[in-house]
Structure 1
Amino acid sequence: MMKSLASSKRKSVLRKGQAMHHPCKSAALKTSQDRLNALVEIGILLSSERDHDRLISHILMSGKRLSNCDAATLYLLTEQNFLRFVIRSRDDALPSQELPLHDPKTGAPCENHVCTYVALNKVAVNIEDVYRETRFDLCGTRCFDAATGYRTVSMVTIPMLRRNGDVVGVLQFMNAIDPESGEIVPFSNGIVDLLEAMASQAAISLDVNELITEQVVLLDSIVRVIAMAIDARSPYTAGHCRRIPELSVMLAEAACAQTEGPLADFSFKNEDEWREFRTGAWLHDCGKIAVPDHIIDKSVKLEMIHNRIHEVRTRFEVLWRDAEIHRLEALLAGADPAVANRAAEAAKQALQEEFALVAECNVGCDLMASEKVIRLREIGARTWLRHFDDRIGISADEHGRLADTPVQPLPATEHLLADHPHMVIPRDQEHMPNPKYGFKMNVPAAIANGGELYNLCVRRGTLTEEERFRINEHMIHTVMTLEELPFPKNMRRVPEFGGTHHETLTGTGYPRRLREEQISMPARIVAIADIFEALTAADRPYKKGKSLSESIRILARMRDERQIDDDLFDLFLTSGVYLKYAEEFVNPEQIDEVDISLYVQRNLGAAG
């Protein structure tokens, strides 16, 4: 027991003696530990920073702090293999010249400057006294000292190397300061080792930052290319996908500028949220790539790939010739020429009037009168004789649709305007909306109905029920496309922003019939932008661009029907966004006076 206590006492004395007799060693250990901790903190800071300018500032100032020096400079390597001054710790202006790593004429390495030597050889260079240095040309540093009154003594230059060994840039630190005396001293080997470790971390951070930036640029470019490709499909929608983001951002900026009122709490907190919103706006119509061009561009009712009015007109030509033949046959049979001629002229006049009505009905209108529909059916009931086989020269698909239709012996009697069963393409399960996405839309029983009377009797516009569904179906494809894309976490709401602009606050929109509380403010912004652009666009085949006042009046009606957000509509007017957009994108002849006091419900004040 006594022996054990004595041993314990000796160890205690030894530890105390060690602590008492080696204070410098303890201080050095603490300094090393502090520097190691600082290096870890720097690594965490550099790995978390995504802004390029702030990152290079962190790199420079972290190295300056780690080495306890007075000044620092950072150079980055350009694509042309030049070292470019990027940032200094002092307020002095950066030199504009760049340092080539190789002679432009001979291609020989330029190793006379310490920075280029370090970049070429990928090694650190530690200089104790700049004014006694003979290995490198340091006249630039000396000239800088002479011009500013600064005195550079010690200097260390460190390469920043990627993981594959390529040089990113060079760090240069000047005038190490002794923490106790405050005197300028050379950079110690231990400090150089720490700076090299930090430079390696900095290079990796810059590399990752550059890679992320390139990926962001690539993604943004792909998004814009997709939108441009959709616009390019049709001369009638060219620019639509480009104009929607422009208008959406205008209105979003106005909303973010609100400091009071119902929109005061709305904001995008950072650039990631703005990118997410802009991307959703750019891709809001990406599903149109799955909608046939002839439906998107359908300018008249009988159009299916081509305008079938020409086929109908040919039948009228046949009846015209029949009338002439009947006149000649009557004359040959000894009929009174005056009577025969009047009958033929009456028949021809009736054909002219009837075709004129058919042609008029073929052009879409806001609302076709019921009397015209009745008259169309009467005209369509006329008959003509077909003498040629209608089952030769057709596709296998057409043969399949005619399989249940009996073959008529020739000559066959045909109606002037036909609604044949084979003109209807029934919908099978494969063409039903995928239920996993929660779509709630009334789906027509047919994919398409090419019936001539069926199309001509469309009461409003040019689209049949089936075609209007195909147009609306672009939202189904938009949602499915966007939700299948593996967007990163900071872009997860792109499908929501891009796929919700046809929903309404009453739950009657499409494709999901969302309730008001399910529609976010950014999605409501895109909805207003989409409607206003469509109203004012002058490049649609089926309508003229509406005037500014008429467009605002229609939007106000939609606001009253709760199809669009009332607060945003008020802001759209009071902020002047509607006029700003019109002056840039709407034809001057469409821009007329708008009295916004007739429509504004709240005084939100002009944004920003």
Structure 2
Amino acid sequence: MHQVTSAHDDLFARLDRLNEIGAALSSERDISRLIEQILVAAKTITHADAGTLYRVTEDGRALHFEIVCNDTLGIAPGAAAGFPDLPLTTPEGAPNRTLVAVCAALEGRTINIADAYAPGDFDFSGTHEFDARTGYRSRSILTVPMKNHESEVIGVLQLINAKHPATGEVRAFGAADQHLAESLASQAAIALTNRQLIDQLETLFESFIKLINLAIDEKSPYTGGHCQRVPELTMMIAEAVNATRDGPLAGFRLSPADLHELEIAALLHDCGKITTPVHVVDKATKLQTIYDRIGLIDTRFEVLKRDVQIATLRRLLELRPQTDAAAEAARWAQCRNELDTLDAERDFLRRCNIGVEAMSPQDQQRVREIGTQRQWRNPEGVETDFLSADEIDNLTIRTGTLTAAERAIINHHIVATIKMLEALPWPKHLKNVPEYAGGHHERMDGRGYPRGLTGEQMSIPARMMAIADIFEALTAKDRPYKPGMKLSQALGIMQKFAENGHIDPELFEVFMQQKVWQRYAETFLDPAQIDLA
């Protein structure tokens, strides 16, 4: 009677353990730990001494050893390195039913072997070889297929040497052991499938993000490089903040889930640029649209020069009978002076078109004078100003190559980014992505865009991204309108930004103290840019 009660108590305890395991399996996020939990749990509820878990390979042609453990041999649960895959078919293409694990997978049924050394239908030569090599004795083997919600076998759970819970004597797996193992295998298969589906969905989602960045990259190699580097730098800053042990940010930590969320936001921070016209994004000179209009102005100068030469020749022909050599030489000297003036004006406009240095008011005025005081005859034969109003507006841009209207188009990308990201139904663990990605052009003093947020209204991750975005832009060597700055110059500008309310000074201090700038420079900058150690 006592033995019956004890057996019932043991069974109830194992059922309780099975329920606990089911709940634990559904909450585990890491597939490797999930597989380990499954095998350990199966050993526990069946009192098995050893076990192995196989998974069907992606091509569906074999069983792959995922994990193995053996209490007697002191083999803790770990990856089954060195064990070959078990092919599901023979070299001739027939089902490989001689291997018990493969047979269980092919037929979708549990196979309970009382003694692996007794004559039978299965080939246990591999098991016997393992025993001979290690001194182990494999006796009872319970092999259970793992079926998902679609009754598809995704793996096999194999348990070895059931032990009596009181005496430790090796025995055959009983009916209760088999039922419990089958129940666990079913729960485990569903948990594993769910985890795989979640991982696949996350991989698919991240692939879509990379697809967007690839589209931006193909559209413009300049912004494409930016979209790759800003996430890298953002994560470097986040890791540095996590490593900080003193100062105002000493108590701030980002969990692995937080870091993943930030990385997603960083990858998407410029997704709105997919809506920005490429000729604005890539505008390398002031007159560039689809092409650089400085070529048109060159042509006009050539027309004016031909006009001067033609006018000189005509005048000389008209006056030739009355013109002496000195007068003719003077006329040609005047012609050369006019041509030199035109060449000087053309060279000046070419320099203005580059837009590398800040333009002085005097140079802006000279552009206007050339554009309005000099006339030319257009292809319609109409005499008009040498430069159009739009050309004058572009050539008199004080800094850079963008007009105010084009700058507004560029800046609109962040509005587009916010609209795109806020339109998505983000899961709870990614709900902050729009805020992080949409805040990288805001400033601590509230003078940023598009929302004019202050530092208090911005999250720390959003402030990290603002620093990453600016530093990458300053040091980028692939921009069409400027060379990459040297480190000393870029850090000097960043220091001023920290002092004048542009970026978070506390984060910038971490950026400097943890030498994030150095790590980034060693990875992404040319050696010629690195003038600090």
> Is residue 524–residue 564 contact of structure 1 (8 Å, CA) maintained in 2?
yes
Task: Name the counterpart of 1:318.
Answer: 303
Amino acid at match of 1:143: E
- Which range is displaced more, 235-244 or 208-217? 235-244
| 1:505 Cα deviation from its structure 2 partner | 0.2
RMSD over aligned Cα atoms = 2.2
Are residues 58 and 457 of structure 1, via their aligned partners in 2, closer, same or farther at CA, if it must alter by over 3 Å? same
1:177-196 equivalences under 5 Å are 177-196=163-182
Amino acid at match of 2:416: H
| 1:161 Cα deviation from its structure 2 partner | 1.2
| 1:555 Cα deviation from its structure 2 partner | 0.7
Amino acid at match of 1:540: R
| 1:388 Cα deviation from its structure 2 partner | 4.2
| 1:357 Cα deviation from its structure 2 partner | 2.0
- Alpha-carbon separation, structure 1, partners of 2:378 and 2:214: 48
1:378-527 equivalences under 5 Å are 378-384=369-375, 386=377, 388-389=379-380, 411-419=381-389, 451-527=390-466
Partner residue of 1:103 out of 86, 90, 95: 90
| 1:111 Cα deviation from its structure 2 partner | 1.4
| 1:503 Cα deviation from its structure 2 partner | 0.8
Partner residue of 2:283 out of 289, 298, 306: 298
What whole-Å deviation, never above 9, does each CA across 1:371-412 have from its counterpart, x for those lacking one?
1122222211235454644xxxxxxxxxxxxxxxxxxxxx42
> Is residue 300–residue 364 contact of structure 1 (8 Å, CA) maintained in 2?
yes
Task: Name the counterpart of 2:53.
Answer: 74
Secondary structure of 2:479's counterpart equals coil
- Alpha-carbon separation, structure 1, partners of 2:378 and 2:202: 64
Task: Name the counterpart of 2:519.
Answer: 580
| 1:133 Cα deviation from its structure 2 partner | 4.4
Aligned residues: 519
- Which range is displaced more, 66-75 or 453-462? 66-75
- Alpha-carbon separation, structure 2, partners of 1:235 and 1:58: 46
Task: Name the counterpart of 1:352.
Answer: 343
Q: Indicate whether 1:530 and 2:469 are aligned.
A: yes
Task: Name the counterpart of 1:86.
Answer: 66
| 1:194 Cα deviation from its structure 2 partner | 2.1
> Is residue 326–residue 344 contact of structure 1 (8 Å, CA) maintained in 2?
no
| 1:45 Cα deviation from its structure 2 partner | 1.3
- Structure with higher Rg: it is 1
What whole-Å deviation, never above 9, does each CA across 1:313-363 have from its counterpart, x for those lacking one?
222222222222332333344365345334433332322222222222222
- Alpha-carbon separation, structure 2, partners of 1:460 and 1:582: 26
| 1:250 Cα deviation from its structure 2 partner | 1.4
Q: Structure 1, unaligned stretches of length 5 or more? A: 1-21, 390-410, 420-450, 595-608
Partner residue of 2:492 out of 550, 553, 567: 553
Q: Indicate whether 1:44 and 2:31 are aligned.
A: no
TM-score (norm 2): 0.92
Secondary structure of 2:249's counterpart equals coil
- Alpha-carbon separation, structure 2, partners of 1:313 and 1:53: 67
Are residues 518 and 133 of structure 1, via their aligned partners in 2, closer, same or farther at CA, if it must alter by over 3 Å? farther
Are residues 28 and 96 of structure 1, via their aligned partners in 2, closer, same or farther at CA, if it must alter by over 3 Å? closer
- Alpha-carbon separation, structure 1, partners of 2:294 and 2:135: 88
What whole-Å deviation, never above 9, does each CA across 1:485-512 have from its counterpart, x for those lacking one?
2222211112222221111100001111
- Alpha-carbon separation, structure 2, partners of 1:337 and 1:36: 116
What whole-Å deviation, never above 9, does each CA across 1:185-215 have from its counterpart, x for those lacking one?
3222232122112111111111111111112
- Alpha-carbon separation, structure 1, partners of 2:418 and 2:489: 31
Are residues 342 and 154 of structure 1, via their aligned partners in 2, closer, same or farther at CA, if it must alter by over 3 Å? closer
Secondary structure of 1:511's counterpart equals coil
- Alpha-carbon separation, structure 1, partners of 2:426 and 2:384: 56
Q: Structure 2, unaligned stretches of length 5 or more? A: none
Give the fraction of aligned pairs with identical amino acids, expressed as a percent: 43
| 1:586 Cα deviation from its structure 2 partner | 0.6
Amino acid at match of 1:154: S
What whole-Å deviation, never above 9, does each CA across 1:444-486 have from its counterpart, x for those lacking one?
xxxxxxx111111111111110011111111111111122222
Partner residue of 2:270 out of 285, 303, 311: 285
- Alpha-carbon separation, structure 2, partners of 1:579 and 1:181: 63
Task: Name the counterpart of 1:444.
Answer: none
Are residues 363 and 147 of structure 1, via their aligned partners in 2, closer, same or farther at CA, if it must alter by over 3 Å? closer
- Alpha-carbon separation, structure 2, partners of 1:236 and 1:155: 61
Task: Name the counterpart of 1:8.
Answer: none
Secondary structure of 1:168's counterpart equals strand
Amino acid at match of 1:57: E
Task: Name the counterpart of 2:352.
Answer: 361
- Alpha-carbon separation, structure 1, partners of 2:171 and 2:376: 109
- Which range is displaced more, 63-72 or 558-567? 63-72
| 1:182 Cα deviation from its structure 2 partner | 4.1
Amino acid at match of 2:314: E
- Which range is displaced more, 23-32 or 360-369? 23-32
Secondary structure of 1:170's counterpart equals strand
- Alpha-carbon separation, structure 2, partners of 1:325 and 1:100: 89
